[in-house]
Amino acid sequence: MSRNAVPFAVVAAALCAVPFAAPGYKTSLATEMLIFAALAMSIDVLAGYAGRTSLGHGAIFGIATYVVLYTVTVAGGHPWMGALLGLCAATVAAVVFALLAIRTSGVYFLLITLALGMIVWGICLRWTSVTGGENGLRGSVRPSLLAGPVPFYYFVLAATALMSYAMWRFVHSPFGLTLRGIRGSESRMRTLGYDVSLHLFIGFVVSGFFAGAAGVLYAFFNSFASPATVALAQSVAALLMVLVGGVGTLVGSFVGSVAIISLENFVSFHTERWPMVLGLVFIATMIFAPEGLVGRARLMLARYSPQVRKP
């Protein structure tokens, strides 16, 4: 770890300096990047370490956002109460998703999580009396302590750092090793006496919990939830961040989030063709850099310095 201490300190210092170096709108953009990095990272926990690529995490994320907004604006609860309920709701959703999805793998897993996400989207769109339908829910839900953009940035930074550390510990724990074992060979793990379904279930729920935590932050950030928050596009964008950064690296999620949100911001400023650019980035990533930016960098590093230990 000491080998990485210097770059780690530099990145940490840079992140802390954002509100001074780039005040105003850019700080809010950086806040958004951190939130989506957390969501992408939660997908990477499953995709990179358990070999299960999910297109349903956007929905879990969005459920937390909806619950926070509903608790505060409709039910009149306290924001922290909303945050707690949002986390619980997302975890419950993750339990339901997991129970149905863990029996499958590969593309089938992708399809069932996609379909489950679409159910959530359909309910948010149609159950107008609770979700507000197409209009969604709007209202100031940020705790008064974090009202300003700068305190809020530091709050999100701290929360994201904590979540990243937790996820990093999770995938590098003995339990995380069993997930990697399942990714490598399910039947071998079963033969060794591991309860594969149970491990996948726990992995999914933990990953969903972090997606929900990101959703709570997003509710504080955006103060608005609509069917677009839980739509497939949300899951797709988050998954693309994982892919661009590099699957199975965790750090890649930050790289991907910064890359995609910067690009979105840049493209949207000049043209309305963001969906097309997003599609082209998807195609180009799959063809030219399926291992992602961080994965590619590691490969090159490994080629030029053979003594680097395998990640």
Partner 1 sequence: MLAFNALNGVTFAALLFVVASGFTLIFGLMRIVNLAHGALYLVGGYIGLTVATKTGSFLAGAATAAVAIAMVGFLIDTSLLRFVKGYELRQVLLALGVALVLNDLALIVWGGDTFTVPVPGALQGPLRLGAIAYPRYRLFVLAVAVVLFAGLWFLLHRTRLGALIRAGVDDLEMVDAMGVDIKRVFIYTFMLGSALAGLGGTLGGAFLSLYPSADVEILVFSLAVVIIGGRGSLVGAGVGSLLVGMLATFGQVWFPELAYFVIFGPMAVLLAFRPLGLFGRAT
Footprint of partner 1 (CB under 8 A) = 53, 99-100, 103-104, 106-108, 110-112, 114-116, 118-119, 121-123, 126-129, 232, 236, 239, 243, 273, 275-276, 278-283, 286-287, 290
CB of 101 to partner 1, least distance (A): 8
CB of 70 to partner 1, least distance (A): 16
Kindly list the distances between the CA atom of residue 286 and the CA atoms of 139, 162, 246, in Å, as whole numbers in the listed order. Answer: 39, 31, 11
Asked if residues 37 and 257 have their Cβ atoms less than 8 Å apart, the reply is yes
Provide CB contacts within 8 A for 290, sequence distance 6+. Answer: 243
Q: Is 144 helix (H, G, I), strand (E, B) or coil?
A: helix
**Nearer of residues 64 and 240 to partner 1, judged by Cβ:** 240
CB of 145 to partner 1, least distance (A): 37
**Nearer of residues 150 and 267 to partner 1, judged by Cβ:** 267
**Nearer of residues 154 and 201 to partner 1, judged by Cβ:** 201
Q: How far is CA 76 from the centre of its chain?
A: 28
d(CA 205, CA 209) in angstroms, rounded, equals: 6
**Nearer of residues 124 and 216 to partner 1, judged by Cβ:** 124
**Nearer of residues 48 and 82 to partner 1, judged by Cβ:** 48
**Nearer of residues 202 and 232 to partner 1, judged by Cβ:** 232
Asked if residues 241 and 126 have their Cβ atoms less than 8 Å apart, the reply is no
CB of 254 to partner 1, least distance (A): 20
Cα dihedral 135, 279, 46, 168 sign: negative
Cα dihedral 42, 235, 240, 82 sign: negative
CB of 238 to partner 1, least distance (A): 13
Residue whose tokens read 């929360």: 159
CB of 149 to partner 1, least distance (A): 31
